[in-house]
Amino acid sequence: MAVSISHLGYNKISQMIFEWQAADRTSLMALFIVLEVSLHWFWCLYVWWQQDALNTYVNIHYLYPLWLGISFVGLFFLCMVKGLFHSSNDNEIVLSRWQIALVLVYTAYISTVIVMIGYSSLFAGVSLVGAAMLGMMLIKRRYAWRMFWLHIILMLLAIMSPYFGISLPNLRQFTVIHPMLESHNYLTYNEIMAAENAVAALAFENNVLNWHSISELQRSSAFFWRSTHLYLALPKAIFIVYMFRALLLVLDDSRFETLRHANQDELTQLKNRRYGLKKMKYALATVREYQDLSVMLLDLDWFKQINDNYGHDVGDQVLIEISQTLSQSLTDKTIISRYGGEEFLIVLPDTKHDSAMMIAEQLRLNIAEHVMKIEGLADFNVTASFGLYTLTHEERDCIAQGYKTITQQKTVARTSPLIKPIATQRAESQIASMQKLPSDICQRLISTADKALYEAKHRGRNQVVSANEMWAEKEGGKQWLYKSC
């Protein structure tokens, strides 16, 4: 069902306008036009009411036909709002006809009003741009685009008409008698404004404003017509800006939701695997000198049996509660992501091996002590096995140095005898400074932690195993990720 006038509220516009159906938006566009036409109608009413004081500035003979036309156009768009209220969103042909009628009638109407009031004014600019921008939001964009060009064509014809001896009707009457300023066209509009600026300036004697000068200024033609332009243009301009502000808020919310769904695991609300790896790469690239980085991989023990015995809903609840335990136990700087089904990846920037082992052990205890309370089932506990590896700053520096040497050798081999532009050299330098480590280092770190996790499973589960210590025991000394170190 299309929108009715009573449905329009200040707060509802920003929340609902971009979720409405096409007929609803078209009805809303027609309603906005009715509001704009109402401003024009009340302006005519004011001029008619004050015609004795304003007949010097306004051609009253043109006021009546303009007022009548404004009334008919207002009734037309009111009927359109009512017609769209009963229109079906499924009838594309009927809706297109409504939108075409809206575009044609409004363009002809606003062009006529601009010509009669002054097409070199603030009002003309706001009407030209604002109508097209609002139309892009509420009706088919191709119709709004054609309305914009039709509006431009009509304005150009109005501007060129004096060159062909065509005198268009104009409500404006100039208060100074001058033979060169008797015609009201584009060629004399700016001259009229300049002359009336001088007339308005006479109201200020010795730069002192008094009540007599205020009265003269209020009665001046320049003041009246500028007030008219502000009255007709500012409400529309403010409304257009508000609508685009609402649009930007919706776009910001949509962008946030898109990023959240792209980067977040839907079940656990932790970072997903892809985003966790991205944050891990960033942590490696930004880690400071003399800082270690530790990586944990944890896997819930006997999780398959939980799914088999209690069902996948219970398994999902276990994953949610374990995720909450991890989030509550670790700091905001820690990168926590769901790496697989029941596997979680934890990256600890600026964390040495001993500290990482203590953190892993505390996490293991927190998980083991957490009681799963599922409605309709007996309480139970779950345990987790941890695999850990710490990339020391010595190993990282060695890897970076080896990678730099290999990169330089490849660069020399590909060097062209031609001198590269300075911009290209700077871009390559920036890329090189950001990529100080091999692209597969994250996968190697995770693979190494996974080997330690496998060892923890082999030793009986519910344990923390360090790959650093495991290598030291087997090899009798240090073993790093890359043989070159």
What is the helix (H) or strand (E) element at residue 300, kind and residue range? strand 293-300
Same domain, residue pair 238 and 329:
no
Residue 405 Cα to chain centre, angstroms: 43
Q: Which of 224, 259, 294 is the last residue of a domain?
A: 259
For 413-436, what is the mean pLDDT? Answer: 49
Report whether 482 contacts 406 (CB < 8 A).
no
Reported confidence tier of residue 435, pLDDT bands at 50, 70, 90: low
Q: How many CA atoms lie within 13 A of 328 on its CB side?
A: 9
Examine the pLDDT at 299 and tell me if it is beyond 70.
yes
Tell me if 264 is assigned to some domain.
Answer: no
Examine the pLDDT at 182 and tell me if it is beyond 90.
no
Provide the pairing of β-strand 335-338 with 464-466.
unpaired
- Tell whether the torsion through CA atoms of 399, 404, 407 and 409 is positive or negative: negative
For 77-95, what is the mean pLDDT? Answer: 81
Residues in the chain: 485
What average pLDDT does the structure give for the chain? 79
Tell me if 196 is assigned to some domain.
Answer: yes
Q: Structural domain tally of the chain?
A: 2
Tell me if 265 is assigned to some domain.
Answer: no
Same domain, residue pair 378 and 286:
yes
What's the pLDDT tens digit per position in 163-180?
Answer: 888 888 888 775 544 444
Tell me if 420 is assigned to some domain.
Answer: no
Domain range for 183? 5-259
For 469-473, what is the mean pLDDT? Answer: 82
Helix (H/G/I), strand (E/B), else coil: 7? helix
165-171, long-range: CB < 8 A, 24+ apart? 168/115, 168/116, 169/59, 169/62, 169/115, 169/116, 170/59, 170/62, 170/115, 170/116, 170/118, 171/58, 171/59, 171/62, 171/63, 171/66, 171/116, 171/117
199-206, long-range: CB < 8 A, 24+ apart? 199/175
Examine the pLDDT at 139 and tell me if it is beyond 60.
yes
Dihedral angle over CA of 111, 116, 117, 119, nearest 10: 50
- Tell whether the torsion through CA atoms of 171, 173, 174 and 178 is positive or negative: positive
Same domain, residue pair 305 and 182:
no
pTM of the complete model beyond 0.85 = no
For 14-18, what is the mean pLDDT? Answer: 58
Out of 54-58, 84-88, 130-134, 234-238, pick the least confident.
Answer: 84-88
Most confident of 18-27, 193-202, 209-218, 265-274: 265-274
Same domain, residue pair 350 and 214:
no
Which residues neighbour 97 within 8 Å (Cβ) at sequence distance 6 or greater? Answer: none
